[in-house]
C-alpha cells in the first residue's frame, strides 16, 4: 500500500484560508474557489471562470493566487505538463513567500505521480526552506500533507510519520486530521507499529466518516483487516473486511479496492479456499492500469499461479507465473527507483549544505584577510592558520563526499542481504561480459537457479532462518565463481551466474558443483535441521546467442523444466540437446 496515501491526500487537497487582498469581491471568490476545489469540482471550475472574467479588478497578488488555483485545476484534471509549468513559474518568479510555498507544495504531487521522485524530493526540500517565512499553520499543512505522503512513498516512514503527527495535532480541521490519521496508519503499518492500536484505527475511521471522507475510512479499515490477518486473526479479519467491502467498492478508487481484495485473497488462499482467493485476485487484475506496479497486482498473479498449480493446470500455472514474475519485477524496479531517488537527493542536499558551509568559511577567511593587511606579521601568522584550516576543511569535505559516493554506489549495486550483485548490477555486468565474448568469438554460459520450497522454510522456521539460508547459498556459490564470472541475486530466492569462456558442458558441470554444495549446507547453526536444495537451468551462447535477455529467458525455461521434473537437478534449454538431463544424484 506504499505511496497510496500520498495520492489520496493530494487528490483531496487541504484547504487553507486565503490572505486578505485589495478587492473584497475578488477575494471572496478566491476564498470560495479554495474552499470547494476538492469537494465540488464543478463549482470550482465555475468560480475559476468568474475570476478570469473579473481579472481587471484584481491586485497583482490576487492574480498570482488565481494562477496558483488554475495550476491546481490543470494538475488535478490530468493536464500535468501545463499545470507543472504554471506552478513552476510561480515558484521561481513570485515575490510572495506564501504563494511560492503553495506552488512548491503543489508541485510535489504531479512529479510523484509521474514517478519522477527525484524532482518531487527537490521541490519538497526547496519548499521546506521557505517554512520560516510562513506564519499560518493552515498554509504549512499544504507541505506537511504533500511531504508526508511523498516520504512514505519512497519508504521513509519515520519521516512521513512526523508530518502525519503534525497534521493530526496542529490542525483544527476534521478533514486535515483525517488525512493525518491516514498517513499515520500507513507509516505505523510499514514500521510494524500497529500492534495495540485498534482504538486509534477506529478513531481515524470515525473521524474520516464524520468529515465526509469515506475513501480514507475505507483505507483505514483495509489496514486494520491486514493487521488482523498478519497477527493471526484471519477469520475475524475476513468477516470484518467483508462487512465493509461494498462501502470500499463504492469509493471507486482502484488502489483502495485492490488492497481490500488483496487482503481477502491472501486470507482465503491461506485457508485453502482457492476458488475464493482466485475470485479476489481476478477482481484486482480487472482494475487495470491504476493498480500497475503495485503489491496487490503482484499478489493477484501469484495467487492465480498457486491456484493453477493446486488444480494441476501446469500450462495456466506457467502463464500466471510469467505474469507474476513480470509484475514483481516492475514493482521491485519502482521501489528501487524510489530509494535511489531519495539517496540521490539526500546526497545533493548534503553536498549543497557542505558547499554553503565552505562558502561561509571562505567569507570568514576573506574578512580576516582584510584585517591582515593592517596588522602585518601577527595577522600573517593568523592567515596561515586559517588557510590551513580551510584546506583541512576542503580535504575533509572531499573525503566525506567521496566516501558517501562509494557507499551509495555499493548500495545501488549490491544486494543488502547476501552481499552479491543485485539484479540491476548483475544484468549490467553480464551484458558487458557478453559483448566482449561476442567480439572475441568466445562462448559463455548462463546458469540460473532457484531454491526449492523456500517459502516453506520461511513458514516453518521463520524469515530469520530463510535469510540465513540465502546468505549461506550466496557464500557457497560465490566460491565456485572464477575471476571473470558474474554472480548475482535476481530477487527472492533466485540467483544467476554468467560463465565467461564456458561451453555448455562446462556450464552444466559448474551448475552441478553448485547444486551439490547447496545440498551439503549444514543448517544446524540455525537451531533447525532441514535440507536445502536448488533447481538449475542452463543456457549457452552457441545455441542462444549473446543477447542477455534471450539467455536469461532460456535459462529460466530450463529452470522450470528442472522444477517440474522434481527439483534438485540441472536442466539445459530444450534446444541444446545432448546435455539436457542432469538429475540430482
- 84-127: pLDDT as tens digits: 899 899 989 999 888 898 888 888 888 877 778 788 888 888 88
- Strand 486-491 and strand 444-451: the pairing is unpaired
Helices and strands: H and E segment counts in the chain: 23, 5
Q: Which three cell numbers, joined as nine digits, stand for 22?
A: 485589495
450 CB contacts (<8 Å, ≥6 apart)? Answer: 493, 494, 495, 534, 535, 559, 563
CA atoms of 223 and 197, how far apart (whole Å): 11
Residue 308 lies in a domain: no
Place of cell 511560492: 100
CA atoms of 141 and 99, how far apart (whole Å): 14
Residue 552 lies in a domain: yes
CB 449 within 8 A of CB 517: no
Q: Which three cell numbers, joined as nine digits, stand for 419?
A: 552481499
What is the three-class DSSP state of 295?
helix
Give residue 450's domain range: 423-579
20: left (phi over 0), alpha (psi -120 to 50) or beta: beta
178 CB contacts (<8 Å, ≥6 apart)? Answer: 204, 207, 208, 211, 213, 216
- Give residue 355's pLDDT: 65
CB 78 within 8 A of CB 43: no
538 bridge partner residues: 447, 572
Looking at residue 525, what DSSP letter applies?
A: G
- Give residue 371's pLDDT: 80
CA atoms of 110 and 200, how far apart (whole Å): 31
**CATH no. for residue 549?**
3.30.70.270
Q: Which three cell numbers, joined as nine digits, stand for 504?
A: 555448455
- Give residue 143's pLDDT: 84
Low pLDDT (below 70) residues in the chain: 1-22, 38-39, 338, 341-342, 345, 348-350, 352-360, 365, 367, 372-374, 376, 379, 393-399, 401-412, 574-585
Neighbours of 99 (CB within 10 A): 20
Q: Which three cell numbers, joined as nine digits, stand for 334?
A: 519502482
Residue 473 lies in a domain: yes
- Give residue 583's pLDDT: 42
Neighbours of 516 (CB within 10 A): 13
Residue 516 lies in a domain: yes
Radius of gyration of the chain from its Cα atoms, rounded to whole angstroms = 29
Residue 350 lies in a domain: no
CB 171 within 8 A of CB 137: yes
Place of cell 485498534: 198
How deeply is 322 buried, as exposed, middle or buried, from its count of CB atoms within 10 A (0-12, 13-18, 19+)?
middle
Do you know the residue count of the chain? 585
What is the three-class DSSP state of 212?
coil
Domains in the chain, number: 1
Residue 251 lies in a domain: no
Residue 537 lies in a domain: yes
SS (H, E, C) 4-48: HHHHHHHHHCCCCCCCCCCCHHHHHHHHHHHHHCCCCHHHHHHHH
> Angle 504-519/463-480 helices, nearest 10 degrees?
140
Give first-to-last CA distance, the chain, whole Å.
45
- 394-431: pLDDT as tens digits: 666 655 756 655 445 665 679 989 999 999 999 999 99
Q: Which three cell numbers, joined as nine digits, stand for 190?
A: 510499514
SS (H, E, C) 533-556: CEEEEEEEHHHHCCCHHHHHHHHH
Q: How far is residue 62 from each of residues 31, 85, 139, measured CA to CA in Å?
A: 11, 19, 16
Nearest to 489 by CA among 522, 457, 534: 534
Mean pLDDT, the chain, whole residue set: 83
What is the three-class DSSP state of 113?
helix
Phi, psi (deg, nearest 5) at residue 184:
-65, -40
Give how far the C-alpha of residue 50 lies from the chain's centroid of Cα atoms, to the nearest Å: 41
**Cα atoms in the Cβ-side hemisphere of radius 13 Å centred on 140:** 16
CA atoms of 409 and 324, how far apart (whole Å): 29
Residue 305 lies in a domain: no
- Strand 534-540 and strand 570-572: the pairing is parallel
H-helix or E-strand spanning residue 337 = helix 314-413
Amino acid at each position: 500500500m506504499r505511496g497510496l496515501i500520498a495520492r489520496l491526500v493530494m487528490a483531496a487537497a487541504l484547504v487553507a484560508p486565503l490572505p486578505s487582498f485589495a478587492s473584497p469581491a475578488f477575494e471572496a471568490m478566491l476564498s470560495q474557489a479554495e474552499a470547494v476545489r476538492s469537494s465540488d469540482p464543478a463549482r470550482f471550475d465555475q468560480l475559476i471562470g468568474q475570476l478570469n472574467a473579473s481579472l481587471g479588478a484584481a491586485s497583482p497578488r490576487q492574480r498570482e493566487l488565481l494562477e496558483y488555483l488554475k495550476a491546481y485545476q490543470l494538475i488535478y484534471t490530468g493536464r500535468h505538463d501545463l499545470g507543472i509549468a504554471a506552478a513552476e513559474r510561480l515558484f521561481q518568479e513570485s515575490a510572495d513567500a506564501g504563494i511560492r510555498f503553495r506552488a512548491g507544495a503543489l508541485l510535489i504531487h504531479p512529479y510523484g505521480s509521474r514517478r519522477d521522485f527525484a524532482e518531487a524530493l527537490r521541490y519538497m526540500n526547496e519548499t521546506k526552506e521557505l517554512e520560516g517565512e510562513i506564519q499560518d499553520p493552515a498554509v504549512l499543512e499544504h507541505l506537511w500533507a504533500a511531504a508526508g505522503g511523498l516520504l512514505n512513498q519512497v519508504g521513509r516512514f519515520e519521516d512521513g510519520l512526523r508530518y502525519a503527527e503534525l497534521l493530526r495535532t496542529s490542525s483544527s480541521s476534521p478533514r486535515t486530521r483525517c488525512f493525518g490519521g491516514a498517513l499515520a496508519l500507513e507509516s505505523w503499518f510499514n514500521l510494524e507499529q500497529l500492534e495495540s492500536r485498534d482504538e486509534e484505527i477506529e478513531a481515524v475511521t470515525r473521524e474520516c466518516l464524520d468529515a465526509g471522507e469515506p475513501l480514507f475510512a475505507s483505507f483505514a479499515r483495509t489496514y486494520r483487516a491486514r493487521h488482523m490477518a498478519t497477527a493471526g486473526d484471519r477469520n475475524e479479519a475476513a468477516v470484518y473486511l467483508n462487512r465493509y467491502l461494498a462501502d470500499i467498492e463504492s469509493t471507486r478508487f482502484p488502489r483502495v479496492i485492490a488492497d481490500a481484495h488483496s487482503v481477502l485473497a491472501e486470507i482465503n488462499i491461506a485457508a485453502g479456499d482457492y476458488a475464493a482467493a482466485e475470485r479476489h485476485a481476478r477482481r484486482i487484475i480487472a482494475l487495470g492500469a491504476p493498480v500497475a506496479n503495485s503489491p496487490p497486482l503482484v499478489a493477484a498473479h501469484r495467487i492465480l499461479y498457486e491456484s493453477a498449480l493446486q488444480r494441476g493446470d501446469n500450462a495456466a500455472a506457467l502463464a500466471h507465473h510469467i505474469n507474476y514474475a513480470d509484475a514483481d519485477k516492475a514493482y521491485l524496479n519502482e521501489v528501487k527507483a524510489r530509494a535511489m531517488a531519495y539517496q540521490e537527493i539526500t546526497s545533493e542536499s548534503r553536498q549543497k549544505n557542505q558547499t554553503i558551509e565552505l562558502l561561509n568559511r571562505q567569507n570568514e577567511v576573506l574578512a580576516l584577510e582584510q584585517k591582515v593587511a593592517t596588522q602585518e606579521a601577527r595577522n600573517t601568522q593568523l592567515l596561515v592558520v586559517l588557510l590551513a584550516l580551510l584546506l583541512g576543511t576542503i580535504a575533509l569535505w572531499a573525503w566525506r563526499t567521496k566516501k558517501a559516493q562509494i557507499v551509495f554506489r555499493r548500495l545501488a549495486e549490491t544486494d543488502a542481504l547476501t552481499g552479491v550483485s543485485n539484479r540491476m548490477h548483475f544484468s549490467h555486468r553480464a551484458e558487458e561480459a557478453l559483448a566482449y565474448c561476442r567480439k572475441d568469438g568466445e562462448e559463455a554460459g548462463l546458469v540460473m537457479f532457484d531454491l526449492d520450497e523456500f517459502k516453506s522454510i520461511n513458514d516453518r522456521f521463520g524469515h530469520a532462518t530463510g535469510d540465513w539460508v540465502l546468505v549461506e547459498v550466496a557464500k557457497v556459490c560465490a566460491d565456485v565463481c572464477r575471476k571473470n564470472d558474474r554472480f548475482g541475486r535476481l530477487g527472492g530466492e533466485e540467483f544467476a551466474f554468467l560463465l565467461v569462456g564456458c561451453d555448455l558442458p562446462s556450464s552444466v558441470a559448474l551448475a552441478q558443483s553448485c547444486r551439490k554444495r547447496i545440498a551439503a549446507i549444514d543448517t544446524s547453526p540455525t537451531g533447525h535441521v532441514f535440507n536445502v536444495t536448488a533447481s538449475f537451468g542452463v543456457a549457452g551462447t552457441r545455441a542462444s546467442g549473446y543477447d542477455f535477455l534471450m539467455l536469461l529467458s532460456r535459462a529460466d525455461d530450463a529452470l522450470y523444466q528442472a522444477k517440474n521434473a522434481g527439483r534438485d537437478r540441472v536442466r539445459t534449454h530444450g534446444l541444446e540437446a545432448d546435455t539436457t538431463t542432469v538429475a540430482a544424484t
